[in-house]
Amino acid sequence: MDSTQLLKGVLDLAVLAVLDERDGYGYDVVRRLREAGLEDVGDASVYGTLRRLFKAGALTSYVVASDEGPHRKYYGLNDVGRDQLASSAATWTAFAATMADLLKERRPS
């Protein structure tokens, strides 16, 4: 299965979860997601997701200068974002449980 399709609808959740730990800028979020196990996540997907979440009012944003490269656009959760994280996490957990149920019923191969 192409694991990119699995991310559909879940990348938002993953990004929110990472930002809930601590604020981060795009490049940093990409690295943290990859370290967490989402190795195939594309950078453009993360930047796109951040922009989308920000536009939706779930994130705050501030720019910080950097010693080792261009400026960094940091993002952090606001109340809307935390709400979205909580409800998305609940939805995901329920969905994953349903899928686990479906899978465990199959005949042993």
What are the helix (H) ranges across the chain? Answer: 3-6, 11-21, 26-36, 43-55, 79-104
Please give the structure tokens belonging to residue 32: 């943290």
Hey, which residues between 76 and 105 contact DNA (CB under 7 A)? none
Sign of the dihedral through C-alpha 42, 18, 39, 88:
negative
Residue 88 contact, options a second copy, DNA, none, Cβ 5-8 Å cut-off depending on partner type: a second copy
Contact map string, positions 42 to 81, toward a second copy, x by CB under 8 A? ----------------------------------------
The length of the chain, given as a count of residues: 109
Residues that bind DNA (CB under 7 A): 2, 4-5, 7-12, 25-28, 40-52, 66-74
